[in-house]
Structure 1
Amino acid sequence: MSSLRWGYGRFGRARRRGPSRAPFSLDKFVLPRWLRRPVRMFARLGEGDLKAPPYAATMLSAAFLASSVTYGAYLGGNLDGFVQGVTARTGFAVDQIKVVGNRETSEIDILDKLDLDGWTSLVGFNVETARERVATLPWVEGAAVRKIYPHTLEVRIEERQPFALWQQGSQLSVIERDGRVIVPYAGGNQATLPLLVGPGAPEHAPDFLARVAHYPDLANRVRGYVRVGDRRWDLRLDNGITVKLPEEAEDAALAQLVALDREQSLLSRDIAAVDMRIPDRLALELTPEAMTARQAALKEISKAAKRKPEQKI
């Protein structure tokens, strides 16, 4: 009986004859190659020739439940949150942040812009949105955010370069070379930057400071560059002397000032200001103490001059 129902293939395994081969070739119809294996498997399963693996029903139920939950999250607009939650709990939660390139920007401010919580997943994290938020920080010129799997974010930033401090009234700001304000001055590393005072100072400062730098001894003593009427410059030195430069021929005035100081120690005298605004003329303004001493000396000279005629009589 069995020999009428069963045959053997070349590998010795039993296979059914007759109707069992119908799904693969019905007259002139032949299934595509990629469908033959699935159809063969279901045919064997239906005829009892193939036994389902253990817990197959449980696995199919779990897969169906997971697909249903995923589809429901998609329809409800919560798919991103669902993916975040699942992947974060399977080893992809962000727990390391690497920040590169920051000198003036606080890491705390960068972390705040990343908007992370304890269960933020690296899989669904939007690096472009995070980059845009980091780029809004005052010192940041450019930013890049990169994922490093399984659980690290790398943030690279390029900061703006401070050029000077700019004072307008009571407001003091850190500015770039082109005059753009970076942040209000709050001390720290920017204390050594050149101080610019007055409207129009940032626009003219780069060229003027470069010319003053040709005289290092003078440049090291300047504590403030004051733009007067957006026409000319005053130099405030470390000993309180103000040098009033002319509107034109600034280079010649600077050279003359340095020569006088080298030959006569002009900038070390008890004076308040050196006025160079009038061509071919140098005017010195004494300090109040020097003025008092000078007036006293003039009085003594006047008294001495009056006593001389009395001595001749």
Structure 2
Amino acid sequence: MDGGGRVVFALIGRKSGETRSHPQDSYAGGDDRRVLPRPLRRIVRFGISLATGRIHVPDHVGTLATFAFMGSVGLYGMSLGGHAQDVAQATTAAVGFAIEDVRVSGNSETSEIDILQLLGLDGTTSLVALDVDAARRKLSELPWVQYAEVRKVYPRTIEVMLKEREAFGVWQHGSDLSLIERNGSIIAPLRDSKFASLPLFVGRGAEAAAAKFVDDMAEWPEIRSRVKAYVRVAGRRWDLHLDNGVVLKLPETNVPKALTVLARLEKEQKLLERDVAAVDLRLEDRTTIELTAAATQRRNDAVEARNKALKKAGET
């Protein structure tokens, strides 16, 4: 302290490794002030410089910051309201990413119009905003589609590749007719005569047992080629309706033996070409033949004529 009562700080040279202190940091006065951490000191100094005008702020920064803040708030609001996808689609479509070409492959029974309508492609749909996974799931819900793949080809094209289900037969349940797969799954209702050549399966449970039974009949191709309808009876056995109207009543078990007997009768006696209404093969030890109405009438007439002739011969 000098003679005037002032405090004099001595400037002492720093040794190697020592840090420089500000006078207020070294002052051991009565208030003993705390020192802010270094990162906070930088923030405080920047705030003071900005407030005092020592930092130059470019023109229009405030306006741009306001618009950026308002845009962020708007995007957040659209996200909460579920409109972000719509905005993204409209924006990207406007700058040249609207879908203009759809290439479909693998479709035989599925129309391209159904595909476009299901995906909502109206000429303004954005390729960028298109959800490929959602589109694939929608396409897989179409009746004939077993599997679907959707791929984007920038800038304006999507490729749709389908694998369709294969119709094995027609299933009649009640008055309804449905196309079925080999495993019995229903594909779609029968709408036209396009699938008239497919085998017809009738009755409860017929759709599930159809494929195995048709495969089992492969050993008798002559008989199988003449079958027009496979009728499931009580969920246990089959009646076969042939193309000439003859009904073959098969047993519940040991069907190969019954068909072997039928094949032998057909070869030796041409049984199925006669006036036969039905052939009952349900019993292993006998085969019952049911004649047509006309054949039955002719037989009855013949029996009656014979009886009359015998009676007349007995009277004389």
Which interval holds the TM-score relative to the shorter structure? 0.7 to 0.9
Displacement after TM superposition at 1:65 (Å): 11
The answer to whether the Cα contact below 8 Å between 2:181 and 2:187 also exists between their aligned partners in 1 is yes
What amino acid is aligned across from residue 168 of structure 1 in structure 2? H
Residue in structure 2 matched with residue 74 of structure 1 by the alignment: 75
Residue in structure 2 matched with residue 3 of structure 1 by the alignment: none
Residue in structure 2 matched with residue 118 of structure 1 by the alignment: 123
Residue in structure 2 matched with residue 309 of structure 1 by the alignment: 314
Cα distance, 1:67–1:193 mapped onto 2, change above 3 Å: farther
Residue in structure 2 matched with residue 141 of structure 1 by the alignment: 146
TM-score (normalised: structure 1): 0.74
What amino acid is aligned across from residue 213 of structure 2 in structure 1? F
Cα distance, 1:95–1:73 mapped onto 2, change above 3 Å: farther
Pick from 197, 200, 212 the counterpart of residue 202 of structure 2. 197
Measure the CA separation in 2 of the matches of 1:80 and 1:193.
46
For residues 84-142 of structure 1, the C-alpha deviation after alignment (integer angstroms, 9 at most, x for no partner) is 22322332111111111111112221111111222111111111111111111111111
Which ranges of 4 or more aligned residues in structure 1 deviate by more than 3 Å?
63-73
SS of 1:123's partner is coil
Displacement after TM superposition at 1:228 (Å): 1.0
What amino acid is aligned across from residue 116 of structure 1 in structure 2? L
TM-score (normalised: structure 2): 0.74
Measure the CA separation in 2 of the matches of 1:125 and 1:66.
29
Coordinate RMSD, CA, aligned: 2.6
Displacement after TM superposition at 1:154 (Å): 0.9
**TM alignment of 1:162-181, pairs within 5 A:** 162-181=167-186
**TM alignment of 1:1-313, pairs within 5 A:** 71=72, 73-77=74-78, 78-310=83-315, 313=316
SS of 1:90's partner is helix
For residues 30-86 of structure 1, the C-alpha deviation after alignment (integer angstroms, 9 at most, x for no partner) is xxxxxxxxxxxxxxxx9xxxxxxxxxx9xx9xx999968864652331443333223
Measure the CA separation in 1 of the matches of 2:95 and 2:309.
102
Residue in structure 2 matched with residue 26 of structure 1 by the alignment: none
Displacement after TM superposition at 1:189 (Å): 3.2
SS of 1:84's partner is helix
What amino acid is aligned across from residue 128 of structure 2 in structure 1? V
What amino acid is aligned across from residue 152 of structure 2 in structure 1? K
SS of 1:213's partner is helix
What amino acid is aligned across from residue 256 of structure 2 in structure 1? D
Measure the CA separation in 2 of the matches of 1:104 and 1:86.
36
The answer to whether the Cα contact below 8 Å between 1:80 and 1:124 also exists between their aligned partners in 2 is yes
Measure the CA separation in 2 of the matches of 1:294 and 1:286.
9
The answer to whether the Cα contact below 8 Å between 2:258 and 2:284 also exists between their aligned partners in 1 is no
Percent of residue pairs bearing the same amino acid type? 46
Measure the CA separation in 1 of the matches of 2:70 and 2:108.
46
Measure the CA separation in 1 of the matches of 2:262 and 2:308.
36
The answer to whether the Cα contact below 8 Å between 1:70 and 1:79 also exists between their aligned partners in 2 is no
5+ long unaligned stretches in structure 1: 1-45, 47-56
| Number of residue pairs matched by the alignment | 255
5+ long unaligned stretches in structure 2: 1-55
